[in-house]
């Protein structure tokens, strides 16, 4: 079944409720899917659906508002979090110390070295060894 938008559903349900008058002209009940319905009982089903959709809309708006409010509060807390993390790092011996967990923070990861930086460091290291005349045991 294709996905139908909320506006389309509401329009459809209201049109069906209005159209029930024609369907029930000269009849008290009509049989649908093996069940007998009165005009009021059928209309009630569609009205219930309309109320459900209205509630979903209200809750969606409330959810958006709650998310917006939480994000504002989070932004206000960031300076405090940073300050507390700094204090914890001083108390534990550094931001990478495992004891940071006891203050509610994951220890900072050891910075990784990119391939270019590793290559540059290796070249520099080899140059220093060459200048100092250092060689490995195998090459002696």
Beta bridge mates, 35: 32
Tell me the backbone φ, ψ of residue 69, rounded to 5 degrees.
-65, -40
Q: Which residue spans within the chain are E strands per DSSP?
A: 29-32, 35-38
Cα–Cα distance between 55 and 108 in angstroms, integer?
A: 45
Spatial neighbors of 113 by CB under 8 A, at least 6 apart, are 121
pLDDT interval class at 66 (50, 70, 90): very high
Q: What is the pLDDT of residues 70-120, one digit of tens each?
A: 999 999 999 999 999 998 889 888 888 888 888 888 888 877 888 899 999
Residue 73: its pLDDT value, please?
97
Task: Supply 90's token pair.
Answer: 């001083």
């Amino acid at each position: 079944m294709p996905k139908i938008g909320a506006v389309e559903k509401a329009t459809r349900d209201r049109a069906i409720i209005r159209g029930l008058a024609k369907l029930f002209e000269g009849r008290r009940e009509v049989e649908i899917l093996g069940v007998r319905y009165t005009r009021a009982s059928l209309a009630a089903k569609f009205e219930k659906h309309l109320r459900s959709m209205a509630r979903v809309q209200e809750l969606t708006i409330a959810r958006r508002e709650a998310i917006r409010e939480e994000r504002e509060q989070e932004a206000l807390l960031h300076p405090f979090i940073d300050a507390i993390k700094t204090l914890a790092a001083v108390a534990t011996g550094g931001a990478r110390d495992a004891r940071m967990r006891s203050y509610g923070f994951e220890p900072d990861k050891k910075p990784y070295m990119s391939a270019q930086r590793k290559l540059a460091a290796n070249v520099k290291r080899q140059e220093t060894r060459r200048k100092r005349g250092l060689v490995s045991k195998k090459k002696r």
